[in-house]
Structure 1
Amino acid sequence: MTAPSLPLPLPAIPEDVPEDVPEDAPGARDGATRRRVLAGAGVAASTLVLGVAASGRQAASASARIAGEVRTEFLHGWRGYQAAAWGYDEVRPVSGTRNDFFARGRTFGLSIVEALDTLFLMGENREAARCCDWIEQHLDPVQDASVQVFEAVIRLVGGVLAGYQATGRRALLQRARELADRLLPAFTGSPTGLPYTHVNLRTGAVSGDVATLAEIGSNAMEFGLLSRLTGDARYYEASLRAYRAAFARRSALDLLGTALHVETGRWADTTSVAPNAPVDSFYEYLCTAGGQLGDRSLTGWYRTLTAAILRHQAVRVGGRLWFQAVDFRTGRASGALHQQELGAFYAGLLAKGGAPQQGADYFDSWTAVLDRCPVLPESVDCATLAPVDRSGRLRPEYANAAFDLWRATGQERYRTAGYRWFAAMRERQRVPGGYTTLRDVTAPTGSARAHDDLTPGYWFAENLKYLWLMFSATPRFDYRAGLLSTEGKALVGLRPGWV
C-alpha cells in the first residue's frame, strides 16, 4: 500500500525568508530548515495577520507570538489535568476531580494518550516522554470492560500510533497492536462485516447490534496504518469489509441512511443526516484514508456519496449553505433544518476533497453563527442562527475546518478565523484548573450558570493542535503531505527524532 498524499496546495516558498522563526523551533537557526518551516506554514512575503497588512518578517513575528499564546493555553490545561487527574481518563477542572470515559471504575489514561502527539508537535519533549512512559507501564489493553469500538479506535489506537510515529518507541506500536487485537472481534464476529458497537477487551464478548455510520467507518486510517507498520493485513481488511457492507446498501440516489442492523444488514434509520453526527466521520475517512493509503475504492466511494449529498441535501437559507436531513430513498426533507456543531468540520473536508467553493460557503455559514455566539453552541437553527442546544462542549470542528481550508487555499482569512475562535474559547472557557465545557454559551461571561465541569480528552488532541499548526511553522510536521485523523491524530507527516 503506497501512500500518495491528498492534493493540498500551498503558497510558493518565499525567497526572502524571514529571520523571526521561533527560537525554540528545532533547527530554527539553520537556513534550509527555516525555509522548509515557513514554506510548510504557508507564510508568503506579504500577508495579512489578524487583518493587519504586514511584511513577511512582521507576519512571521506575529505568528510566533500567537503560537506562544496557544502553547501557553495548552500547557495551562495540561497542568490542570496533571494536578487533579494524572493517570485517569479526563479531568473535571472546576471541582478538581476526574472522569472515567470508557467504563466506570476503569481508566485508560485517555487524556495522556490524546495529548501525546500534541505535546510532541509543541516541542514539549519531557512531557511527551512522560506520556510514553505511562502508556508503556500502565495502559492495560485487557481490562474487563466493554468499550465503544469507535471511540477506542480513534482515541486509543490512533493516539498510541501517533505516539509511535513521533517517537519510534517500539513498545507503543506493540501496545497499539494489542489494543486493536482486542477490538477486532467486533468486526470478525459479525456475519455482515458491519462491526458491533462494543466489545469486552478481556473476554471478546460483543454487544450493540445497531451501528451508526460513524461507528462503522471511522477506522481505516488507524487500521490501515497498523497493517502497514506490522505487515498484518487483518486490521485493514476488517475495515474495508465494513465500508463495503455499508456502501453496498446505499439508495438509488447514492445516499446512505444513519444506522444499520449489524447482524441482518438492514437499515435501522433511513435518514441521511450528513454531515451531522452520528455519520460525520464515515465520510471524512473515505476521503482522508483514501489519500493516506492510496485506496481508489475509498476515494471513489467518497466522490459518489459527496456528489449525492451536494445534490440532494445542500440548501441555501438567507444566502448561507446548510445541509438538510432527507429520506435516503426519496430525497424528501426530514425534520427541522438544524445543524450540529459537529458537522462544521465538513467545510474543510469539502475543500480538500474537491469542492472548495462549497467548503468555503459552509465555513462562512458557521462563521455567521460565531458572529452571534462567540462560542459555538452544540446545535443551531439554520434559519435564525439561534441555538437549539445551548451547551458548549469544547468542540474543535470549526478550528479543524479553518486549518483544512487554510492548507487547501493558503488564504489568511482562515487563520484569522481560527484565532478569533481561540480567543473566545480563552475568554469564556478558561478556569483556574484548565478549560471547561459550558452549560449555556449565551450566558454572560463569568456567570455562575455558564461553566460546566469537564475537559474532554479530545481537547488535548485537537483544539489547540490546529491553532498550533496554523501559527507555529513547526518543523515537526510535514505541512504538504501530513494528514490528521478525525480525532486530530497526526498519523501521516510527523517528523520524529526529538523524544
Structure 2
Amino acid sequence: MKHRLSRRHTLALIGGASAAFVPGGIRAFAGQEDFAALGEDVKAEFKWAWDHYVDRAWGQDEINPVSGTSRSFFIEGQTLGLSLVEALGTLWIMELDEEFQAGIDWVKSNLNFDIDAHSQTFETNIRLVGGLVSAHLASGDPVILEKAKDLADRLMKAFDASPHGLPYRYVNLRTGAVRDPETNLAEIGTYAAEFGVLGQLVGDDRYYAAAKRAMKHALDRRSSLGLMAANIHAETGEFISRNASVDVYADSFYEYLWDSWDLFGDAEMKTWAEECVDSIIRHQGKRYEGLIWYPMVDYETGEVTGPSQTVLGAYLAGLMGQVGRKAEGDDFLATYTTMQERFTIIPESTDVRTATPRGLRTGLRPEYADACLNLWQGDRNERYRELTAIHWRNMKATSKAQYGFTSLADISTRPMGQGDNCPGYWWSEQMKYYYLMFAKPRRVDLDRLALSTEASILRGYVR
C-alpha cells in the first residue's frame, strides 16, 4: 500500500518550500520551528522503520519497503547486514539502546567476511568498515573493532595489487583477487577517514598511508588549472577521461582531503583541499539563469563537457563552508534550495542550462541535508535547520511506504510514484543529519563531531 498524499497536502508542501527559499544566500532564522519536536518526530519515524526492518529483513542488506521484501547489495544472494551496520550509529545517538545492542549482537554472531566473491572496494569501506569503526567507538566492544580490521585487511589487497597503490574497484574478500582497474577519484580516494581512525585504534599507520598515497597520485596529475579528471586507471596510473567532476565519480575524494585535516591534523591534506576547492570555484562554476552550477568540464581547458549536475553535488556547498569559502557555499546551496522549491524533491540529475530534471527517479538522497549540517556547524545560523526541516517533511510526505521509506520512481506525479527500495545509507545519513540538527542529542558533542562521507561518526561520541 503506497502512502498517498492529497492534492491539498502536496500543494502545501510545494508552497512551504517556496516560502522558505531566499535567492542568493541565507537569511536570518525566522524562529517558527519547534526543533525539539522535529527531533522527536525523526526518532519516532526511524524507530517505526527499524521495527519493519527487524520484522521483514533482519540481517539483510536492504529492505524493499513497498513489498516488504529484501535484497542483497554487495554480493548477489549474500548478505553482509548493510542496513543493520549502517544504522548502528544512528540507533546509538537516538538512545535506542535495546535495538542498538541487538544489532551489535547480530554483528558479533553472524557477520563474516570470509566470502569467495568480489565486493566493491569503495562501497565496502565507506559502508561497512566505517559503520563498524563507528559502532566500536559507540559501544567499546573489541569484537566489533576486530571485524573492522579484518575487513580493512581484505580491502588492502586491492591497493597492494596496483603498482601505483590505486585500489582496484573490486576485490575478492577471501582470495584477494582483484578486477576492474578502470576506476575513478571517489573509488580511489575515499578511505583516509575510516582507515585513519582504524589505524589509530589498532596502532597501525599502514591504512592511512595507503589511503593518502592513492590520493596523492591523482593530485600530482592535476592540470595547470588545478583540476583532475574524474576517471583513472589503477594499472597505468593515468587519467582515462578528460572530465573534471565534483559529483559523480569524484565527490568524496574532495571531502576526504578536508576530513584528513580535521581528524588527523594533516596539514598537507588541508592545503590540497583548499587548492582543489579554489580551482573548482574558479574553473568549474558556471551561472545559468541566475543559478550557480558546477558541471563537468575538461580538466585542462575548463570547457563544459556535460551540462548536468546530480543531487550528489550538494555536498560541495558544505565543503566550501568548511574550507573557508562560505559565500560560495551559500550560493551553491541556494541552487539546490531552488530545486527543492520547484520540485519538492530535488531531482536526481538536472540539466543546468534549463534547471529541469533529466530523469524522474530519485534514491532518497541525503546530500542537501549534509550540506546544511556542515554549514550550520560553521556558524550555527538556524536558517540551515529551517531548510533541513523542509527537506525532512518533504521526504516523509513522499517516501513513506507500508514497511519503511522508499526511493521514488516518479517525482513529477502527484502523489509521487514510489519505487521499492530503502538504500542502506538512509539509515546512516539523512536520518542522522536530521536528528543531529533538530534534537541536539546528548550522546554527541556537536563541537567535536566528525562524520565520514557515509555519516559514520568517527569523532564526537559522548559516552
Is the contact between residue 223 and residue 235 of structure 1 (CA under 8 Å) also seen in structure 2? yes
The one-character-per-residue Cα deviations of 1:215-269 (angstroms, maximum 9, x if unpaired) are 0100000000011111111111111111111111111211100111111111111
Q: Tell whether 2:402 aligns with 1:432.
A: yes
Q: Tell whether 2:61 aligns with 1:89.
A: yes
Partner-residue secondary structure (3-state), 2:386: helix
Is the contact between residue 476 and residue 494 of structure 1 (CA under 8 Å) also seen in structure 2? yes
The one-character-per-residue Cα deviations of 1:395-451 (angstroms, maximum 9, x if unpaired) are 000011111111112111110000001101111110110001111111111x5xx01
Equivalent position of 1:489 in the other structure:
456
Matches within 5 A, 1:231-242: 231-242=203-214
Is the contact between residue 110 and residue 155 of structure 1 (CA under 8 Å) also seen in structure 2? yes
Partner-residue secondary structure (3-state), 2:119: strand
Equivalent position of 2:15 in the other structure:
none
Q: By how many angstroms is 1:382 displaced?
A: 2.1
Is the contact between residue 142 and residue 182 of structure 1 (CA under 8 Å) also seen in structure 2? no
Q: Tell whether 2:230 aligns with 1:258.
A: yes
Q: By how many angstroms is 1:384 displaced?
A: 2.5
1:164 alignment partner, one of 122, 125, 136: 136
The one-character-per-residue Cα deviations of 1:2-55 (angstroms, maximum 9, x if unpaired) are xxxxxxxxxxxxxxxxxxxxxxxxxxxxxxxxxxxxxxxxxxxxx987x345xx
**Aligned in 2, Cα 1:201/1:165: closer, same or farther, shift over 3 Å?**
same
2:436 alignment partner, one of 469, 475, 486: 469
1:194 aligned partner, one-letter code: L
Partner-residue secondary structure (3-state), 1:350: helix
Partner-residue secondary structure (3-state), 1:491: strand
Is the contact between residue 391 and residue 440 of structure 1 (CA under 8 Å) also seen in structure 2? yes
TM-score normalised by length of structure 2? 0.92
Gaps of 5+ in 2: 1-26
RMSD of equivalent CA atoms: 1.3
Q: By how many angstroms is 1:179 displaced?
A: 0.4
Matches within 5 A, 1:419-458: 419-445=389-415, 450-458=417-425
CA distance in 1, matches of 2:388, 2:35: 12
Is the contact between residue 194 and residue 246 of structure 1 (CA under 8 Å) also seen in structure 2? no
Partner-residue secondary structure (3-state), 2:361: coil
Equivalent position of 2:447 in the other structure:
480
Is the contact between residue 28 and residue 381 of structure 2 (CA under 8 Å) also seen in structure 1? no
Matches within 5 A, 1:397-412: 397-412=367-382
CA distance in 1, matches of 2:394, 2:434: 13
CA distance in 2, matches of 1:378, 1:335: 15
CA distance in 2, matches of 1:178, 1:52: 48
Equivalent position of 1:334 in the other structure:
305
1:209 aligned partner, one-letter code: P
Matches within 5 A, 1:201-220: 201-220=173-192
1:385 alignment partner, one of 355, 360, 385: 355
Is the contact between residue 87 and residue 112 of structure 1 (CA under 8 Å) also seen in structure 2? yes
Q: By how many angstroms is 1:186 displaced?
A: 0.3
2:362 aligned partner, one-letter code: G
1:314 alignment partner, one of 270, 276, 285: 285
2:261 alignment partner, one of 290, 296, 309: 290
Is the contact between residue 295 and residue 352 of structure 2 (CA under 8 Å) also seen in structure 1? no
CA distance in 2, matches of 1:77, 1:380: 30
Partner-residue secondary structure (3-state), 2:240: strand
Q: By how many angstroms is 1:386 displaced?
A: 1.3
Partner-residue secondary structure (3-state), 1:257: coil
TM-score normalised by length of structure 1? 0.86
CA distance in 1, matches of 2:349, 2:77: 31
Gaps of 5+ in 1: 1-46, 54-58
The one-character-per-residue Cα deviations of 1:267-309 (angstroms, maximum 9, x if unpaired) are 11121011x1110000011011221111111111111111111
The one-character-per-residue Cα deviations of 1:153-190 (angstroms, maximum 9, x if unpaired) are 00000000000011101111111000001110101121
Equivalent position of 2:106 in the other structure:
134
1:371 aligned partner, one-letter code: E
Equivalent position of 2:328 in the other structure:
358
Q: By how many angstroms is 1:463 displaced?
A: 1.2
CA distance in 2, matches of 1:319, 1:302: 27
The one-character-per-residue Cα deviations of 1:439-484 (angstroms, maximum 9, x if unpaired) are 1111111x5xx01100000000011110100011212111111111
Q: How many residues align?
A: 437
1:305 alignment partner, one of 276, 279, 283: 276
Q: By how many angstroms is 1:492 displaced?
A: 0.9
Equivalent position of 1:181 in the other structure:
153
Aligned-residue identity in percent: 40
